[in-house]
Amino acid sequence: MYRDESGELKATPLFGTGHTDRAPLGRALAAAGGNDRVVGVVHNHPPSIVATASTSDQDEARDINKLPSDNDWSGARKVFSDRDDVTYYLLGPDMALRKYDYQDNAAWDRKNDHEHWDRNRSRFETGPQLQVEPAPDPRAPDHQDHALYRQILEKTQEAYEKAGRPAAEGEHERVAASLLAETKRDHRGQFERADAVVFSVDPKSGEVGRRIFVVQGDPSDPASLRSDAKTTDAARQPLEQSFDKVYDANQRLFLQQHERGDVVQVPQQSAPSAPAPAR
């Protein structure tokens, strides 16, 4: 978050590296026009970090990622060591926005010694907490992928009916969400409509449905865009996991477009209560 030359409060685009352990703070500061204009920084530890955590305890990974990393702390202290008016937040995997004191976490440790977390020899304690609404997923009408998700869902239902394949409760929705995530991964925004969803047919055994495909264009045309998934995996994958993949893919695409100059407008917001993630 920063103020431009006129004093208007704005937010930079989201910046990321594709790695869960570092964020390009310098690039966000440059987009803001320099450190002096910055009034707040938000680091994002998205749900995908928990899914790829090295620890087998997902609850522990989720709790740890409510806290700043060592890199988050050291970067903020280094960049803003001479300022006390920059607000530092972390948007955790639980979609809670927490404010942290990056200047003197040792003082917080002493004050909150009975409540601190100990991680990599560094201790953290949350400051005042602000709750934010979770980002809309593709089921929401205002989501950028809502129309494509609905098309995939309708075509998935048709494919099941045509094949006479029974579906468990919510299976159509899970399969459609999984296929949507695959289109995002495979085609980087080029997959814009779902013309068909079809099951695979094994040419030797005649087995139908080991894999499921979503196609943009004529399914019989090899040049048509398509994405696929193993049907049993898609049917079991939780909606939240698929939508996390969609979210991550959209953020990567946004960053790539920004770096190419395709994105020329800097997102704006009228108040600092809902800042844009910086990672």
pLDDT single digits (tens) 183-194? 999 998 899 999
Question: Is residue 85 in a domain?
Answer: yes
Question: Is residue 140 in a domain?
Answer: no
Same domain, 107 and 11: yes
Quote helix, strand, coil % in the chain, to nearest 5. Answer: 35, 20, 45
Question: Is residue 127 in a domain?
Answer: no
Question: Is residue 266 in a domain?
Answer: no
Distance from C-alpha of 185 to C-alpha of 250, rounded to nearest angstrom: 9
The DSSP result for 181-202, as a single string, is HHHHHHHTT------EEEEEE-
Mean pLDDT by 10 residues, the chain (279 residues): 87 70 76 88 78 67 74 74 79 78 51 42 46 71 94 98 96 98 93 98 94 97 97 95 86 66 39 39
Same domain, 103 and 149: no
Locus of tokens 């993630």: 277
- Total number of domains constituting the chain: 2
Q: Give the range of the structural domain holding residue 202, as residue numbers without chain letter.
A: 145-260
Distance from C-alpha of 40 to C-alpha of 25, rounded to nearest angstrom: 12
Q: Which two tokens stand for residue 205?
A: 């055994």
Contact between 65 and 92 (Cβ < 8 Å):
yes
Same domain, 39 and 103: yes
Last residue of a domain, one of 64, 97, 114: 114
Q: Give pTM, 2 decimals.
A: 0.56
Same domain, 237 and 157: yes
Same domain, 154 and 90: no
Same domain, 103 and 154: no
Same domain, 12 and 100: yes
Contact between 93 and 62 (Cβ < 8 Å):
yes
Q: What is the pLDDT of residue 101?
A: 66
For residue 218, the one-letter residue type is: D
For residue 166, the one-letter residue type is: P
Question: Is residue 121 in a domain?
Answer: no
Q: What is the pLDDT of residue 259?
A: 54
51-57-58 Cα angle (round to 5): 35
Q: What is the pLDDT of residue 164?
A: 96
**Could you count the other beta carbons within 10 Å of the beta carbon of residue 149?**
24
Q: What is the pLDDT of residue 20?
A: 58
Contact between 49 and 99 (Cβ < 8 Å):
no
Question: Is residue 132 in a domain?
Answer: no
Same domain, 176 and 233: yes
Q: Can you give the three-state secondary structure of 94-161, one letter per residue?
A: CCEEEEECCCCHHHHHHHCCCCCEEECCEEECCCCEEECCCCCCCCCCCCCCHHHHHHHHHHHHHHHH
